[in-house]
Structure 1
């Protein structure tokens, strides 16, 4: 079914990964973007003017606002600024699309106006989707903070529902990797820059130090740099690290493969340095915003909302939270998945070494599970040796990847348990379930438990 503005009205039962507001008066571009989004389970709503986009954003709070190069009543930079300065819309990620020949000139203005990303037109579908995904996760984090803070108040916990959008973290900490990094020109004092041409050293550096972003200059070693991208993405501690990959005149297939392997941003040579600097600053600002949201989320975890034995959220908080999450997911046709972990041999530790040892092991298991998840995911102690994890805005196929990664790491870890003078290994049973229309919290959790392998 088609709406009056030309966008497609989708079935209420269709799952939406995200709701995207497309703000542009370029009808052909709007329809092309809408079609690409629809094919990939995103819902696109079109607004031809800045005023319409502002009204739509205030009323419906889309996950992302995608702004084209043409609006009937204002410059795109003005719309960016007005969205960023309005308390009702300031936390909506914004994505600016500009003609290729104007990208460098626009980059710094877009950054100053508050854009979270910038894409040169004409953009390929694979790149558009890859670049939208981090903004979707950012939107999920903002929504998670609002929901969790609201629920925490019922448990006597006072926590902020928003974070300060201003980056006050000082100079960016950048890692530059590759033999061609010396060719890149940065203003004096631009950032704290660590450089290496050795990929093995780069792996060691990202494991030991905290960086705001990594910039990889592939040169003639594209495959090796793609491998490094993949390693970063699959490292539980590093998977959020922004990675900007510079390729020498890549074909479309090379760019698509780079995004598939985990690059956050791909830029071809010859480089527009203004565009490069703008891209780095956007990635750094976004990364630091994620850390501020993570810290704000942790403020909702207090003795009032947590389980005294393990330190993660309590079963009571989980049940209250999951009821609200289910309602939101059903109303917005959003995916939601639950993981369930059962560690049976904790009972053996309890029998052999006592309650204190078993409790210490459970604490470590809770910490490990939480550390292997994104900030927006919620871990709770359900009962006994069992933990429940909620993954908002996550389809089942993605949730199962997370489940197997966590179960595998726990199974291969030697735990040092208090008063137990030998390493303790555990075996893990894990189950996954995604939301169905008829589910309530008990049904969803129950199905995940029945799926324990």
Structure 2
């Protein structure tokens, strides 16, 4: 996933070094040399992450971060403070100003890239929810919530050393949170699925012979805990593993010995973000469920699909990130309705939507286009990536039978799909869907149960025969 990074530092060599490192990793880098310039570029260029130096003349990094957070237009841009300061009080001051993290100079490249990619994923998810909210006409929810909304959070403390976990729990209890200590990874996995759902999990990387990172990966892979904030606790000797943790999706981290004020500040940041996400998700769900979802499958409907696709294509003018779609049609679906009845057909459609919805990214969007046709919108996705996703979904549907009423052995279901990618913001949603539809038609003509990439708008011929899989017989 590419991203636009704003690097802010008053020392030119520092800017050039970071610019070179990030550009080598295919990030789009823009720069500013003081706090005022950072505020201007944040508004004009909409970066995905801001790397902000602390020690700058005039407006320092703390004040710059505070002003970014006060402006609704820049409030949701992740900020990483880059500093030579190592005192815990400075980190707490930055967190209270709204920073998402600190990187100490000299910067470790692995930590830098991992942290930036982690924050880019977080912003992409928030941006996608906000875009869907705007598409649905639900108004914009910009307030992150006050301190009164943060009390009483349900926090899991996962640590094999009970005394160490109890110290963390006591400090959080004094801040008004409800904590639960879990000594084993298996207990944490079970508790994550139970009600009431937790607001945050604090996981020690050392779980007494069990790997805390593996637990974080498992929590991220389960639907109920996929968006649960994860705060990893580790000591200085475990820092080389931090980059892997960020790649797995941890939200933040603490270095032992844990400072009480830093613990509270980082927990407060994660809880505020979780509560904002829940409010945004709830508002969107209530609005969309009434007018923009398909009543049978729960996927978005055609009306919402077209509005959202146009919005994503318009965003390309600023982001310069491609938008890919997959248009799929279930093969020989009429036979299911004719042979087994419409109840069976409805069950198949519901299960198709469930499998696909659970297997795409949080900021991808699934919609029912009509009948047995579905569309997946994949922002910031190159053609090769989109084709790979479509092929993975094709196998996901074809290789596991579908349970339907009054048929014990189940049904084998396949689909054909066309994949198209827009790189030109002048291309309309209708044009993009048309290209995908032509590729879908060709996939059907070629024998079904396959994916075909659409031709680019400027190509005179069709795309090459990028087929996948063979025809699977319907039982």
Q: TM-score, normalised by structure 2?
A: 0.78
Partner residue of 2:13 out of 20, 28, 48: 28
Q: How does 1:74-153 map to 2 (within 5 A)?
A: 74-99=59-84, 101-102=86-87, 104-152=88-136
Structure number with bigger Rg: 2
Question: Per the alignment, in what secondary structure is the counterpart of residue 423 of structure 2?
Answer: coil
- CA offset digits 1:379-424 (Å, max 9, x no partner): 111233221111223456765776577666656777665x546474
* Cα drift, residue 44 of structure 1: 2.0
What's the Cα RMSD here?
3.3
- CA offset digits 1:79-106 (Å, max 9, x no partner): 122111123322333222333512x212
Cα separation, 1, equivalents of 2:357 and 2:40: 38
Instruction: Give 2:206's aligned residue.
Output: 219
1:162 partnered with 2:141: yes
Partner residue of 2:432 out of 434, 441, 446: 441
Cα separation, 2, equivalents of 1:447 and 1:315: 18
Q: Given that residues 343 and 386 in structure 1 are in contact (C-alpha distance below 8 angstroms), is that contact kept between their aligned partners in structure 2? A: yes
Instruction: Give 1:175's aligned residue.
Output: 156
Instruction: Give 1:387's aligned residue.
Output: 374
Question: Per the alignment, in what secondary structure is the counterpart of residue 86 of structure 2?
Answer: helix
| Range with greater deviation from structure 2 (398-407 or 182-191) | 398-407
Residues 86 and 268 of structure 1: CA distance in aligned 2, closer, same or farther (over 3 Å): closer
Q: Given that residues 418 and 437 in structure 2 are in contact (C-alpha distance below 8 angstroms), is that contact kept between their aligned partners in structure 1? A: no
Residues 444 and 301 of structure 1: CA distance in aligned 2, closer, same or farther (over 3 Å): farther
- CA offset digits 1:135-185 (Å, max 9, x no partner): 323433443345434444xxxxx3112342115253222222222353253
Question: Per the alignment, in what secondary structure is the counterpart of residue 30 of structure 1?
Answer: helix
Cα separation, 1, equivalents of 2:297 and 2:211: 41
1:58 partnered with 2:43: yes
| Range with greater deviation from structure 2 (301-310 or 404-413) | 404-413
Cα separation, 2, equivalents of 1:127 and 1:298: 36
Instruction: Give 1:11's aligned residue.
Output: none
1:241 partnered with 2:220: no
* Cα drift, residue 434 of structure 1: 6.1
1:354 partnered with 2:341: yes
Instruction: Give 2:180's aligned residue.
Output: 194
Q: Given that residues 222 and 247 in structure 1 are in contact (C-alpha distance below 8 angstroms), is that contact kept between their aligned partners in structure 2? A: no
Q: TM-score, normalised by structure 1?
A: 0.81
Residues 189 and 149 of structure 1: CA distance in aligned 2, closer, same or farther (over 3 Å): same
Question: Per the alignment, in what secondary structure is the counterpart of residue 107 of structure 1?
Answer: helix
Instruction: Give 1:285's aligned residue.
Output: 272
Cα separation, 1, equivalents of 2:216 and 2:418: 28
Q: Given that residues 258 and 266 in structure 1 are in contact (C-alpha distance below 8 angstroms), is that contact kept between their aligned partners in structure 2? A: no
Cα separation, 1, equivalents of 2:416 and 2:179: 42
Q: Given that residues 380 and 388 in structure 1 are in contact (C-alpha distance below 8 angstroms), is that contact kept between their aligned partners in structure 2? A: yes
- CA offset digits 1:204-225 (Å, max 9, x no partner): 1122242222222233757622
| Range with greater deviation from structure 2 (221-230 or 196-205) | 221-230
Instruction: Give 2:52's aligned residue.
Output: 67
Q: Given that residues 390 and 419 in structure 2 are in contact (C-alpha distance below 8 angstroms), is that contact kept between their aligned partners in structure 1? A: no
Q: Given that residues 416 and 422 in structure 1 are in contact (C-alpha distance below 8 angstroms), is that contact kept between their aligned partners in structure 2? A: yes
Q: Given that residues 337 and 432 in structure 1 are in contact (C-alpha distance below 8 angstroms), is that contact kept between their aligned partners in structure 2? A: no
Q: Given that residues 156 and 201 in structure 2 are in contact (C-alpha distance below 8 angstroms), is that contact kept between their aligned partners in structure 1? A: yes
Question: Per the alignment, in what secondary structure is the counterpart of residue 195 of structure 1?
Answer: strand
Q: Given that residues 212 and 242 in structure 1 are in contact (C-alpha distance below 8 angstroms), is that contact kept between their aligned partners in structure 2? A: yes
Cα separation, 1, equivalents of 2:253 and 2:388: 25
| Greater relative CO (CA pairs within 8 A, separation 6+) | 1
* Cα drift, residue 336 of structure 1: 2.8
1:325 partnered with 2:312: yes
Q: How does 1:229-378 map to 2 (within 5 A)?
A: 229-250=216-237, 253-329=240-316, 331-344=318-331, 346-378=333-365
* Cα drift, residue 251 of structure 1: 5.4
